[in-house]
Amino acid sequence: MRVKHKKWADPLIAAHPELMIDDATQFKGKWQSRFAKEQPLHLEVGMGKGQFIIGMAKDHPEINFIGLEIQRTVAAIALKKALEEDLPNLQLICGDGEDLQEYFEDGEVAKMYLNFSDPWPKKRHAKRRLTYKTFLATYQQILQDQGAIELKTDNMGLFEFSLESMNNYGMIFDGVWLDLHHSEENEHNVETEYEQKFAAKGQPIYKLIANLDRKSVV
């Protein structure tokens, strides 16, 4: 979903360098210095308006979280929400998931989240899906050994594609859920904005957790 550019977005981002980073390359390899404590780093690509990453940061003070969003106005909305909280374990980036290798050092990230990523349903757009093999290679680079990727979506096409793409890449599945909200896995689930919307319409939510065991990847 494209959001119209809002005039207040740029000034708000500029006013809060302590919470939102515009040029993420400058902290490559140094993200831990941005947090109150050194602890495992989890990254969400495409955080949208930030409900998930803020909720996770509240629920898990023992983990450092970074939310990344490419649309400036959407990122600014997430920033606005995060400013209402006081979370020493949360940082936000306005940037592009295609450039992760420029933002993070090899092995700097412990876990990644992809929530309700754009499905790009047309076959000729497959390369843009965030689970296309070129993206997986990038994730492998920045994730530590055994680093996991958690993905949630309502889109069956994207889910099927992701299972196949990740399997072909040599990833190991720790869990696959075809109806997350009616499973035990839902107990500690933090909902995203899209998730709330789709679940309210009665659509099942799919989830997978895949492990990138470097040694098994060719």
Residues near ligand SAH, by CB under 6 A: 45-48, 68-71, 74, 96-98, 115-118, 192-195
User: Between 133-142 and 156-168, two packed helices, what is the crossing angle to 10 degrees?
Assistant: 60
Q: How far is 162 from 71, CA to CA, in rounded Å?
A: 23
Q: How far is the CB of 71 from ligand SAH (least distance, A)?
A: 4
Q: How far is the CB of 51 from ligand SAH (least distance, A)?
A: 7
Question: How many Cα atoms within 13 Å fall on the side-chain side of residue 144?
Answer: 9
Q: How far is the CB of 38 from ligand SAH (least distance, A)?
A: 25
Under a CB-based contact definition with an 8 Å cutoff, are residues 108 and 43 in contact? no
Nearer to ligand SAH, 48 or 147 (CB): 48
Nearer to ligand SAH, 200 or 218 (CB): 200
Nearer to ligand SAH, 124 or 215 (CB): 124
154 is catalytic: no
Catalytic residue among 59, 106, 118, 179: 118
List, by residue number, the catalytic residues.
Answer: 118
